[in-house]
Amino acid sequence: MELGGIVAYIVALAITAGIYAIFCLGLNIQWGYTGLFNIGIAGFFCIGAYASAMITTPKPTGIYAQYVHQLFGLNLPFVFGLLGAALICGIIAFLIGIPTLRLGEDYLAISTLGIAETFRLIFNNEKWLANGARGLMGIPQPLQGLVDPRHYNYIYLIIVVFIMIIVYLLIERAVRSPWGRVLRAIREDEVSAAMSGKDIFNFKMQSFVFGAMIMGLGGALYAHATRAISPEVFTPLYGTFIIWVMLMAGGSGNNKGAILGAYVIWGIWIGTKFMTDLLPFTLKARAPYIRFLLIGILLEVILLYRPQGLLGEEKKVSKLIE
């Protein structure tokens, strides 16, 4: 494979890893800082992607409308897709949070799982919403015309990294504030935090919504990267589980860890592909399952032997303390 091809491959990897990094940052707010066990990430992934897709594509008309059904199509620019995705995810997180955030950790987890599954079922079955199982195609990419399509990915990589850095700075700012300290207190010992008079529910809700909005952003970026989405993309494996492994590997409670974890685990994931390419032909069909088995085992190893991940939790919490 020539150098150009290798570079292009790496760029594509970096884009995917960067998008996952954004998911990890979102999850880190919910879990790393507030202790919310959200195993329905795939739900926000799904909604963010679809929202951005439908905001940035036109509603099908004429003959086309017989084949592609969309609830709405606003044909707005990319930026609106991103913002819309974040906003819609935030609203949905708010609505979901009202009944579920008062529940214990286990119950919250089951609820988030159920919601993600329910959304996937709805998107899969209700054709009028977003074309059902066939999904949506032709999702536009920002700044498309600028370069040769072969080199477009460089631009998208820059966009993804740029957004990732902004999200990172935003979150860093937020967690170093008094707001962030309350979140940590809630995670450490909810009972004491409640007794010191803080309205736990509100803080949890803010964290949940904030995290969800960032996940929505990630979903939107994903949609525009792949240009076509369908419900089967947002599985518990690719849309939830792998993100958890990434965050635990990198270090929950640490934003740098979130980003690092995404890149490392995605790198391992791609690495396993090369390993399984060496497998005899008969096993090749099972390669993705072998690879995921390894990722699953990796998570268990992390939980048993290094639950703090590569970077561990951040020590400095406040700018004021030195």
Partner 1 sequence: MIELIVYGIVLGSIISLGAIGLTLIYGIVRFANFSHGDLMSAGAYVALFMVTGVLSWIGVPATTFGPLSFGWRMVIAFPVSMLAVAGVAILFDQILYRKLRQKGSGVVIFAMSSLGAAFILRMIILILWGADSLFYKPGLMRPALQLPMGIKIRPDQILILFVVFILIGLLHLFLQNTKMGKAMRATADNMELALVSGINTEKIIIWTWGIGGAMAAAGGILYGIDVQLHPYMGWNFLIPLFAATILGTIGNMYGALVGGLVIGVAQQVSTAFLMPTYKPAVAFIIMILILLFRPKGIFGENSK
Q: Which residues contact residue 19 at a Cβ distance below 8 angstroms, ignoring those fewer than 6 apart? A: 160, 218, 221, 222, 225
Using CB under 8 A as the binding rule, whether residue 131 contacts partner 1 is answered as: no
Using CB under 8 A as the binding rule, whether residue 277 contacts partner 1 is answered as: no
Please say whether the beta carbons of 113 and 40 come within 8 A: yes
The burial of 146, by beta-carbon neighbours within 10 Å (0-12 exposed, 13-18 middle, 19 or more buried), is given as: exposed
Please say whether the beta carbons of 48 and 216 come within 8 A: yes
- Based on CB atoms, which residue is closest to partner 1, 95 or 169? 95
Using CB under 8 A as the binding rule, whether residue 35 contacts partner 1 is answered as: yes
Q: Which stretch binds partner 1 (CB under 8 A): 4-12, 83-91, 114-122, 195-203?
A: 114-122
Considering only 13, 76, 87, 110, the residue that binds partner 1 (CB under 8 A) is: 110
Please say whether the beta carbons of 186 and 34 come within 8 A: yes
Sign of the dihedral defined by the CA atoms of residues 143, 145, 146, 150, in that order? positive
Using CB under 8 A as the binding rule, whether residue 280 contacts partner 1 is answered as: no
- Based on CB atoms, which residue is closest to partner 1, 121 or 147? 121
Considering only 123, 208, 241, 263, the residue that binds partner 1 (CB under 8 A) is: 241
Please say whether the beta carbons of 112 and 94 come within 8 A: no
Q: Which stretch binds partner 1 (CB under 8 A): 15-23, 62-70, 111-119, 149-157?
A: 111-119
The burial of 6, by beta-carbon neighbours within 10 Å (0-12 exposed, 13-18 middle, 19 or more buried), is given as: exposed
Using CB under 8 A as the binding rule, whether residue 105 contacts partner 1 is answered as: yes
Using CB under 8 A as the binding rule, whether residue 113 contacts partner 1 is answered as: yes
Q: Return the closest-CA partner of residue 57 out of 75, 82, 70, 32.
A: 75
Q: Which residues contact residue 168 at a Cβ distance below 8 angstroms, ignoring those fewer than 6 apart? A: 25, 255, 259
Name residues contacting partner 1, limited to 204-223 (CB under 8 A): none
Name residues contacting partner 1, limited to 61-100 (CB under 8 A): 99-100
Using CB under 8 A as the binding rule, whether residue 192 contacts partner 1 is answered as: no
Rounded to 5°, the CA angle 99-240-238 comes to 150
The distance of closest approach from Cβ of residue 268 to partner 1 in the complex, given in angstroms and rounded to an integer, is 15
Please say whether the beta carbons of 225 and 19 come within 8 A: yes
Considering only 9, 293, 306, 318, the residue that binds partner 1 (CB under 8 A) is: 293
Considering only 236, 238, 270, 317, the residue that binds partner 1 (CB under 8 A) is: 236
The distance of closest approach from Cβ of residue 47 to partner 1 in the complex, given in angstroms and rounded to an integer, is 16
Give the binding site for partner 1 (CB under 8 A). Answer: 35, 37, 39, 99-100, 103-107, 109-111, 113-115, 117-118, 121-122, 124-125, 236-237, 241, 244, 248, 285-286, 289-290, 292-293, 296-297, 299-300, 303-304, 307
